[in-house]
Amino acid sequence: MSDVLVVDDDPAIRKLVRVNLEKRGYTVRVAADGTKAIDAIKHQLPDLVLLDIVMPGLSGIDVCLWIRTQSDVPIIVLSAHDEEDLMIRALDAGADDYVTKPFSYEALLARVRAVMRRAAGSQDGADRQIKVGDLLIDLDARRVLIGGVDLQFTRTEFALLAELAKNPETVLKHGELLARVWGPEYHDESHYLYIYFGRIRSKLGSKYADLLETVPGIGYLFRTSL
């Protein structure tokens, strides 16, 4: 049974999310602010965090950044703000998804299932390694290294890079990548790819960033040579 931590300063939101999740068999804990959320995570790491982004004291961004220093636990940000800049900040901080309030609970539950499914299936299972120069993509260990230095990819960053690396010199369309990494519920979220590939290229550095080629209006591909 999955343990979900719901963090929101609105008691009505906390109650409704908790009731809907518990009806589906989830174990739910709640926290009213960022400090209490961190305390709850220190006490017991949940399987998923639903995190309000605007709260008194520590913001959801602050909490997300702290979580990412401790764990790769999936995080879905809940926000009353639909500005692209705020969404980018949340995803850059390590969030796996961004849901705008007000939301339907069926839509939220679909996102919860998708994120949990992605987390459960994140191990590739293939004992293979992909090498380009001193770049190593270890599909079994889910690690990306350059010259033996671990680049500390998040689960989603690794999943995206791995999908391309397993299909070298092949254009994977936006919708195909979204479905493979996030799930079929995300077929219209192509802006996620732009944000995540920007982060991946930044981590790969100038020497290897160009291995990821953008095919305008279509998708992305992984080059096998510099």
CA 124 → CA 56, 108, 145, distances in Å? 40, 26, 17
Rounded Cα distance, 167 and 163, in Å: 7
Rounded Cα distance, 57 and 31, in Å: 13
Report yes or no: 115 and 130 within 8 Å, Cβ to Cβ: no
Name the DSSP class of 209.
G
Q: Of 83-87, 116-120, 123-127, 131-135, where does mean pLDDT reach its minimum?
A: 123-127
Q: Between 118 and 166, whose confidence is greater?
A: 166
Rounded Cα distance, 63 and 39, in Å: 11
pLDDT the model gives residue 144 = 96
Q: Is 6 helix (H, G, I), strand (E, B) or coil?
A: strand
pLDDT in tens, 22-41: 999 999 999 999 999 999 99
Q: Between 82 and 199, whose confidence is greater?
A: 199
Dmax over CA atoms of the chain, in Å, equals: 54
Distance separating the N- and C-terminal Cα atoms of the chain: 46
pLDDT in tens, 170-202: 999 999 999 888 887 787 788 889 989 999 999
Per-residue confidence band for 127, with pLDDT thresholds at 50, 70 and 90 = very low
Average pLDDT over residues 111-125: 71
Report yes or no: 70 and 27 within 8 Å, Cβ to Cβ: no
Domains of the chain: 3-120 (3.40.50.2300), 129-222 (1.10.10.10)
Report yes or no: 162 and 137 within 8 Å, Cβ to Cβ: yes
